[in-house]
Structure 1
Amino acid sequence: MREDEDRVRRAPAHEIGQALDALSVEDLSERIDLLRQEIARLEAARTAKESARGAADAFFKR
C-alpha cells in the first residue's frame, strides 16, 4: 500500500515556473520532450472538443 501512496504523492516531472539553474542539459532536454508531448496531448483534446462543439452546433441549428 505504501507504493501506491508514494506514486500519488510524487512531484510532477516539471512544474511551470520552477527554477532551472540546477538542471543539466540532459534534464532540460527531457523536460522539453515531456512538455512537447503534453502540448500535443492538449492540442488533440482541444481539437476533439472543437469537433464535438461543431457537431452539437450543427445539430441544434437545424
Structure 2
Amino acid sequence: MMLDEENKRRPTAHEIGCDLSAISADELRARIALLNAEISRINDEIVRKELGRKAADNLFGPKV
C-alpha cells in the first residue's frame, strides 16, 4: 500500500470527544453502529458477570 493511501484511510474506531465536523453522515452512522455493538457487548459481559456472582453466592452463601 502506498504511503498516501495509508494517510487517507480513516480509523475504524471512534474516539470519544473527537471532532465530528469533517466526518460524513454515512461514517457517523457507521460509528453509531460500532458504538451500539460495543454497548451490547459490554451489557452481555455485565449479565455474564452478574450470573456468575449469583451462582457463587448461591453456592457459598450463608447456610441456615
Query: Above 0.5 in TM-score?
Result: yes
The number of equivalent residue pairs is 52
1:16 aligns with 2:12: no
Cα displacement (A) at 1:17: 1.0
1:11-49 CA distance string (max 9 Å, x none): 661011111111100010000000000001000000000
TM-score, reference length from structure 1? 0.77
Alignment RMSD, CA only?
1.3
* Identity rate, percent: 44
Q: Could you tell me how far apart the structure 1 residues matched to 2:31 and 2:15 are?
A: 10
**Which is higher, the Rg of structure 1 or of structure 2?**
2
Q: What letter is aligned with 1:60?
A: F
| Gaps in structure 2 of 5+ consecutive residues | 1-10
TM-score, reference length from structure 2? 0.75
